[in-house]
Amino acid sequence: MKPFDRVLIVDWSGGNDRGPRPKADAIWAAFNDTPAEYFRHRQAFETWLMTVLEAEIDAGHRVFLGFDFPFGLPEGMAKPITGQDDPFAFWNWVTERVEDAPKRNNRFDVGAEANRAFEGVGPFWGNGLARDIDGLPRKGRSRTAQVTERRLAEADAKGAFPVWQLAGVGSVGSQMIMGLPVLQRLRLKFGDDISIWPFDAHDTAVKVVEVWPSLTVRSQAPEGMVKDAWQVETVARQIAALSPREQYDLLHEDIPDAARAEEGWIFGLGQEALMMATDLKPPPLSNDCFALPPGHHWTPIEDAWQILQDRLRCVVPQQKTPLAEAQGYVLAKDVVALRSHPPAANAAVDGYGFAQSSLTEGDQLLPLHPGRAAAGVPLQGSVPDGFAVRVLTGAIIPDGVDTLVLEEDCAINDTHIAFRAPVKKGANMRRAGEDSEAGEVVLRAGRILRPQDIALAASVGVGELTTFAPLRIGVLSTGDELAVPGTPADQAQVYDANRPMLLGLARSWGCTALDLGHAPDDRDALREILNRASERCDMILTSGGASAGDEDHVSAVLEDTGSMALWRIALKPGRPLALGVWNGTPVFGLPGNPVAAFVCALLFGYPSARLLSGAGWAKPSGYIVPAAFKKSKREGRREYYRARLTPNGRAEVFASEGSSRVSGLSWATGLVEMGFDAEDVNQGDPVRFLPFAEFGI
Ligand code: AMP
Ligand code: MG
Rounded average pLDDT per 10-residue block, the chain, 697 residues = 89 91 91 90 96 95 97 97 96 97 94 96 95 94 94 92 92 96 97 96 94 90 87 93 84 90 96 80 70 68 87 90 95 94 97 95 95 96 97 97 97 96 94 95 96 98 95 97 96 97 97 96 94 92 90 88 73 83 91 95 97 93 97 90 97 90 96 93 97 96
Q: What is the tens place of the pLDDT at every residue in 533-574?
A: 998 999 999 999 988 888 899 988 988 876 667 677 888 887
pLDDT score of 294: 60
Q: Which atom of ligand 1 is nearest to the CA of 546?
A: 2
pLDDT score of 290: 74
Query: Pocket of ligand 1, candidates 476, 577, 660: which has the most ligand atoms within 8 Å of its Cβ, to mutate?
Result: 660
pLDDT score of 676: 86
Task: Give the chain's domains with CATH numbers.
Answer: 6-69+196-277 (no CATH), 79-187 (no CATH), 318-337+437-468 (3.90.105.10), 346-430 (2.170.190.11), 472-613 (3.40.980.10), 623-695 (2.40.340.10)
DSSP code string of 498-553: HHHHHHHHHHHTTPEEEEEEEE-S-HHHHHHHHHHHHHH-SEEEEES--SSSTT-H
Q: Which atom of ligand 1 is nearest to the CA of 477?
A: 19
Task: Choose among 190, 198, 163, 152: nearest CA to 62.
Answer: 190
Kindly report the protein residue whose alpha carbon is nearest to atom 15 of ligand 1. 592
Q: Is 589 in the pocket of ligand 1 (CB under 6 A)?
A: no
Exposure class string for 203-234: b at 16+ Cβ within 10 A, else e: ebbbbbbbbbbbbbbeeeeeeeebebbbbbbb
Kindly report the protein residue whose alpha carbon is nearest to atom 5 of ligand 1. 592
pLDDT score of 1: 65
Q: Is 123 in the pocket of ligand 1 (CB under 6 A)?
A: no
Task: Choose among 1, 2, 8: nearest CA to 63.
Answer: 8
Looking at the CA of 578, name the nearest ligand. Answer: 1
Q: Is 574 in the pocket of ligand 1 (CB under 6 A)?
A: no
Tell how far the Cα of 689 is from the centroid of ligand 1, in angstroms: 27
pTM beyond 0.75, yes or no: no
Contact indicator for 363, 410 with CB cutoff of 8 Å:
no
Q: Is 496 in the pocket of ligand 1 (CB under 6 A)?
A: yes
Q: Is 165 in the pocket of ligand 1 (CB under 6 A)?
A: no
Kindly report the protein residue whose alpha carbon is nearest to atom 14 of ligand 1. 592
Q: Is 436 in the pocket of ligand 1 (CB under 6 A)?
A: no
Which amino acid does the sequence have at 529? I
Please report, in angstroms and rounded to a whole number, the separation of the first and last CA atoms in the chain: 39
